[in-house]
Amino acid sequence: MNITIFGTGYVGLVTGTCFAEMGNQVTCVDIDEEKINQLKKGVVPIFEPGLEELIQENCKQNRLNFTTSSSVEVQNSNIYIIAVGTPMGENGEANLKYVFDVAKTIGENITEESIIINKSTVPVGTAEKVNQIILDELNKRNIDCEFHVVSNPEFLKEGDAIRDFMYPDRIVIGTENEYARKVMCELYSSFSMKYDRLLVMGVKEAELTKYAANAMLATKISFINEIATLCNTLEIDVDEVRKGIGSDKRIGYSFIYPGCGYGGSCFPKDVQALIHTSIESGIDPVILKAVEVRNTSQKELMVNQIFEEFGNDLSGRKFAIWGLSFKPGTNDIREAPSLVIIEKLINAGAIIYAHDPVSISEVKKVIPEPWAKKIFLFEENQYEILENTDALLLITEWKLYRNPDFLQIKETMKSPIIFDGRNQYSPKQLRELGFTYKGIGR
């Protein structure tokens, strides 16, 4: 099949590459010239395990190509995938500007019956708006050509995106049109060989399914974080409680790990967008609002623990941070708890030495100029940043931090204090080794 994808971010790039891997002819379009130039040279702008090799191989086989100009490619294809960003707007709503821009481009170019697949996470009713924009453009051109807008939300997770795309739990397809359903089944047939993973439903149901899924996962995280806060006050270990409830199959172990808050490009903005949709619909989203409130306080928890230990004035204090990306396996730092924690510590006078295996260049893009002498970033040796530090803060649970040399850590630091924002270490072991240990709800 000939496929054109708009947007070469985490979703567009993985989707395009995986469809090419299955033998389709894929053109990826982006407005970011630098990104496209890099991709043409085989340089992948994001860190996603396994992606670079797959891109290079599919480019070599001429199944995958990249471009900034959309008109030529659009005319050679009849399947268009929208995978552009839908960032948070001023009032928490999803900003649909990029989606609508792509819809306009498609309307300006299509000449034959086409399927327009929306993979971006968008509020209920967006497919109708995309439909109208394309229709308006066709009318302007005086062209009468059929097209069908399908909702096909994406559920991949960064860090495991290729596997999630190749072996999805389910493929949600929102369409009421029989021809579109048939094309979508064909498009995804290679990903549904073992058993049928397709869930075909109404367009609006598909649009809401994505938000409901992310909101449910965020709710689980905020729930366990609330339980962890209670554990802290009651002086009991939330990790025992976590195992106690996770073993119940109705609850499960996933997404009930306490920590210093969820971040990323999806959960925070999607919870906000769903709150916005609910309020607009006259519903008071009490649960979603609480999920959001708990997460905000969770990002501040470690800073409060530090203030308790050292006082509110951190001038002259030096802290080491392990992990900056919003989670392991990605260089994505959007809404990362690390950024909130760093900002608060620097504002209180601290100096930060931070290590992350892949996100340093991303962090450099966003740190404000006044911080230049207050934050130092490293991606090689995780131990070299510990020299003379007052405490070590574990913020992202990369595997390389999981079982470190604690004796070396203790010898290098000024004072052996660990703030474990991901409950990775054993409080008992660390206390026996002479550390002061502060976890989340432990």
Active-site positions? 266
Q: From residue 280, how far is each of 30, 124, 126, 274, 290 by CA, in Å?
A: 32, 12, 15, 10, 18
Long-range contacts of 201-204 (CB under 8 A, 24+ apart): 201/172, 201/173, 201/174, 202/174, 202/176, 203/127, 203/128, 203/149, 203/150, 203/151, 203/174, 203/175, 203/176, 204/124, 204/125, 204/127, 204/151, 204/174
CB of 374 to ligand NAD, least distance (A): 28
Torsion angle of the four alpha carbons 56, 60, 61, 67, in this order, in degrees rounded to the nearest 10:
80
Inter-residue contact 157 to 53 (CB < 8 Å): no
437 near ligand NAD, rule: CB under 6 A: no
Q: Rounded CA gap, 165 and 160, in Å?
A: 9
394 near ligand NAD, rule: CB under 6 A: no
Nearer to ligand NAD, 226 or 270 (CB): 270
Q: Of 65, 120, 305, 424, which lies in the binding site for ligand NAD, with binding defined by CB under 6 A?
A: 120
Q: Rounded CA gap, 286 and 283, in Å?
A: 9
Q: Rounded CA gap, 421 and 439, in Å?
A: 6
Q: From residue 317, how far is each of 46, 243, 267, 279, 346 by CA, in Å?
A: 33, 36, 33, 44, 10
CB of 428 to ligand NAD, least distance (A): 36
83 near ligand NAD, rule: CB under 6 A: yes
Question: For ligand NAD, which stretch binds (CB under 6 A), given 24-32, 345-353, 372-380, 415-423?
Answer: 24-32
121 near ligand NAD, rule: CB under 6 A: yes
Q: From residue 131, how far is each of 29, 185, 319 by CA, in Å?
A: 20, 21, 52
24 near ligand NAD, rule: CB under 6 A: no
Closest to 224 in 3D by CA, of 176, 172, 261: 261
Site residues for ligand NAD, window 239-268 (CB under 6 A)?
A: 265-266
Side-chain half-sphere of 309: how many Cα atoms within 13 Å? 19
CB of 123 to ligand NAD, least distance (A): 11
Residue nearest to ligand NAD (CB): 9
Question: For ligand NAD, which stretch binds (CB under 6 A), given 1-9, 190-198, 344-352, 427-435?
Answer: 1-9
Inter-residue contact 44 to 51 (CB < 8 Å): yes
CB of 215 to ligand NAD, least distance (A): 13
377 near ligand NAD, rule: CB under 6 A: no
17 near ligand NAD, rule: CB under 6 A: no
12 near ligand NAD, rule: CB under 6 A: yes
Question: For ligand NAD, which stretch binds (CB under 6 A), given 82-90, 188-196, 252-260, 434-442?
Answer: 82-90
Q: Rounded CA gap, 239 and 125, in Å?
A: 42
154 near ligand NAD, rule: CB under 6 A: yes
Question: For ligand NAD, which stretch binds (CB under 6 A), given 77-85, 142-150, 169-177, 413-421?
Answer: 77-85
65 near ligand NAD, rule: CB under 6 A: no
Number of residues forming the site for ligand NAD (CB under 6 A): 26
86 near ligand NAD, rule: CB under 6 A: yes
Nearer to ligand NAD, 12 or 323 (CB): 12
Structure tokens at 321: 């941070």
- H helix or E strand, kind and range, residue 419: strand 417-420
CB of 80 to ligand NAD, least distance (A): 11
Widest CA span in the chain: 78
CB of 145 to ligand NAD, least distance (A): 21
328 near ligand NAD, rule: CB under 6 A: no
Q: Of 79, 103, 127, 156, which lies in the binding site for ligand NAD, with binding defined by CB under 6 A?
A: 156
- The residues binding ligand NAD (CB under 6 A) are 6-12, 29-32, 35, 83-86, 98, 101-102, 120-121, 154, 156, 158, 265-266
